[in-house]
């Protein structure tokens, strides 16, 4: 696969040129980017998947929903519906998409909507729900909307400055686009990342004077959810289970489980994979399946041996306070 990606290098040059021209046309105003009165916070990345956008969206919701009426707008990638849709009690994961459905299931007091047309989605949310704040999930590269605050994620082990454009690399947007971010958050860091390495990475990212570079690590829960009775992960230390993943980058989860001494087989599927009846029949024969929360949303109701492990972002140092204070000041200034 790596050899094939290298052979496709000429196509990545074409892709890079197209990305550059697109951003240039937005920068000079030939392509229009619309501003809205409602405060908008955008979360995204420059690469294809794997930086932890959904956990970061959930982190911001936990942080801000006690103070503001929030709506989340997502594209709803690979959903089986079209146009604008607001989640309600009858919505399905197929119609909403796995990531927004996960958010909808966890945050009953937050409006979750999907629309590939972000402008239209914002307009409809503003007219119908009148939120005080809209969070745009996975929208950094969607320049038809100008957000008030942009949060850019990049993985510790795969910084955008070290990457290259599709299909040779994983970049879907220009490295220079990072200049539009208010916050650059380096995710999936080692929990013990010291200040010296943090400074080294911040310098490597060549961030602007007004940009804040923060660092976070993944925090895995010690409880398995989804079964009739919640059980502690430690109860599986002497048992073999099946890990099922349909996410962009399962490597951190695999590393975490192995570091804890678990024994398991790993069945990997493509990101956002909707499982067939044949696959579900195969999985039903396994004694116990451990999966991610996003995969659980697509599998629940089909398997009785299914459990999932929650993951969240934990900021290193004062990152949580920094981002909360900055967003609070922004919202106060808007009121």
C-alpha span between 125 and 137 (Å, rounded): 14
Report the C-alpha gap between 214 and 193 in whole angstroms.
Answer: 12
Residue 47 in marked binding region? yes
CB crowding 226-239: b at 16 or more within 10 Å, else e: beeeeeebeebeee
3-state secondary structure 248-275: CCCHHHHHHHHHCCCEEEEEECCCCCCC
51 marked ligand binding residue: yes
Residues 6+ apart with CB under 8 A from 76: 85, 96, 97, 99, 100, 114, 115, 116
> Does 332 show up as a binding residue in the annotation?
no
Strand duo 70-74 + 111-114: pairing? parallel
Positive or negative, the CA dihedral 267, 271, 277, 278 is: negative
What are the CA-CA distances from residue 284 to residues 30, 50, 94, 214, 281 (Å)? Answer: 54, 27, 21, 42, 5
Does 50 show up as a binding residue in the annotation? yes
The response to whether 83 counts as a known ligand-binding position is: no
The reply, when asked if residue 52 is annotated as ligand binding, is yes
Q: Is 53 known to sit in a ligand binding site?
A: yes
By DSSP bridging, strand 183-187 and strand 149-155 are: parallel
Annotated binding site: 47-54
User: Which residues participate in the annotated binding site for ATP?
Assistant: 47-54
């Amino acid at each position: 696969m790596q050899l094939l990606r290298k052979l496709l290098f000429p196509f990545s040059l074409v892709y890079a040129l197209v990305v550059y021209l697109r951003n240039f046309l937005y920068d000079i105003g030939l392509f229009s980017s619309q501003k809205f009165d409602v405060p908008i916070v955008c979360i995204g990345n420059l690469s294809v998947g794997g930086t932890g956008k959904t956990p970061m969206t959930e982190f911001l919701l936990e942080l801000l929903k006690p103070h503001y009426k929030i709506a989340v707008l997502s594209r709803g990638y690979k959903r089986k519906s079209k146009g604008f849709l607001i989640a309600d009690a009858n919505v399905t994961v197929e119609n909403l998409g796995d990531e927004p459905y996960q958010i909808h299931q966890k945050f009953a007091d937050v409006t979750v909507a999907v629309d590939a047309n972000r402008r239209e989605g914002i307009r409809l949310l503003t007219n119908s729900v009148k939120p005080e704040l809209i969070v745009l999930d996975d929208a950094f590269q969607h320049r038809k909307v100008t957000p008030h605050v942009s949060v850019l994620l990049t993985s510790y082990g795969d910084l955008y400055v070290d990457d290259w454009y599709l299909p040779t690399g994983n970049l879907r947007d220009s490295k220079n686009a990072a200049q539009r971010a208010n916050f650059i958050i380096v995710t999936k860091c080692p929990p013990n990342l010291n200040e010296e390495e943090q400074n080294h990475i911040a310098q490597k990212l060549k961030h602007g004077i007004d940009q804040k570079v923060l660092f976070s690590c993944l925090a895995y829960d010690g409880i398995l959810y989804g079964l009739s009775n919640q059980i502690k992960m430690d109860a599986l230390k002497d048992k073999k289970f099946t890990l099922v993943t349909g996410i962009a980058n399962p490597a951190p989860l695999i590393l975490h489980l192995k570091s804890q001494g678990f024994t398991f087989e790993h069945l990997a599927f493509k990101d956002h994979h909707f499982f067939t009846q044949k696959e579900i029949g195969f999985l039903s024969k396994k004694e116990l399946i451990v999966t991610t929360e996003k995969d659980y949303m697509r599998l629940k109701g089909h398997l009785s041996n299914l459990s999932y492990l929650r993951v969240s972002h934990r900021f290193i140092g004062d990152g949580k306070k920094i981002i909360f204070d900055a967003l609070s000041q922004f919202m106060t200034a808007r009121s």
